[in-house]
Copies of this chain bind each other. A is one copy, B any other.
Amino acid sequence: MTQSTLYPSATLLISCPDQQGLVAKIANFIYANGGNIIHADQHRDEASGLFLSRIEWSLGGFNLPKELIGPAFNAIAQPLGADWQLCFSDAIPRIAIWVSRQDHCLLDLLWRHQAKEFAAAIPLIMSNHATLKPIAEQFGIDFHHVPISRDTKAEQEAQQLALLEQYNIDLVVLAKYMQILSGDFLEKFPQVINIHHSFLPAFMGAQPYHRAHERGVKIIGATAHYVTEDLDAGPIIEQDVVRITHRDDVKDLIRKGKDLERIVLARGVRLHLQNRVLVYGNRTVVFA
């Protein structure tokens, strides 16, 4: 998506009960302070009567210093009963990638990061296995091996939370982590994106490719979603699919699925990093 790159930009993601003059009030706030809107998109959700909007403007010549934009906007937002978040294009979110034994999603994310597809830092890779340590080393990223066992899960999650704090992490990406996070963990750290290797809600849970093959489907998919306490039931960011035939056995589904997983996860992470995803209820608006 086109972005003027000379100056950093500010992005507002807003949701509030629909009412007259919302766009005018927000646009006036930006215009009155000398901002130029680069991207503005809005959606009205009939069912909930919610107004959902993303507005991005250049900070070149904007009168308010960054630290005052939030407070100043809040004076407008509060009477509207709006939920809102403000992000800056020159803020570099810090990502922790969590993996298990499979490398394809991890390698893909790291390559895209190298190729500057993500405006983010990746200081930490965490895994319940030591298998992928060499990749972390090769890319010069700290690797922490945190084994998981049912009985000691609480302590291990405490250790994981400590690492997230230590590395000052903003977003956790589960790149085939294959472990369930507790509601307790998610309460403390809610910003988690997962890739599930099926076209959700089909084949939630374990072994989706095996079950897809058993069912004899003609198309398989992958889904990037925010993690919630309910397994594979969180807000969906992105999905895509690929055709299969009777000639494809489970090994072929896994191989073809890897390409889907890589691309769908990367798209989901990129949309999140560009502040294009607005979650409301269990749904998302993706301002693509």
Q: Binding site of A, secondary structure by majority: helix, strand, loop or mixed?
A: mixed
Interface 9-mer from A90-98, A140-148, A186-194, A280-288: A280-288
Instruction: Return chain B residues, CB-CB under 8 Å to A241.
Output: 219, 241
Interface residues of A in 27-44 (CB under 8 A from B): 27-28, 30-32, 34-44
Cα(A214)–Cα(B216), bound, Å = 26
Cα(A266)–Cα(B242), bound, Å = 15
Instruction: Return chain B residues, CB-CB under 8 Å to A4.
Output: 44, 46
Docked-complex contact B217 and A236, CB < 8 angstroms: yes
Centre residue among A27, A45, A235 by max chain B CB count within 10 A: A27
Interface 9-mer from A69-77, A155-163, A248-256: A248-256
Q: How many residues on A have C-beta within 8 angstroms of the other chain's C-beta atoms?
A: 74
Docked-complex contact B20 and A24, CB < 8 angstroms: no
Instruction: Return chain B residues, CB-CB under 8 Å to A23.
Output: 23, 27, 30-31, 37, 40
Any B CB within 8 A of the CB of A259:
yes
Give me 17 other A-B pairs in contact (C-beta within 8 A), A2-B249, A245-B286 excluded: A1-B252, A4-B46, A19-B36, A23-B31, A28-B28, A37-B42, A41-B41, A41-B42, A43-B247, A47-B249, A107-B111, A115-B258, A200-B202, A201-B215, A243-B243, A246-B286, A259-B266
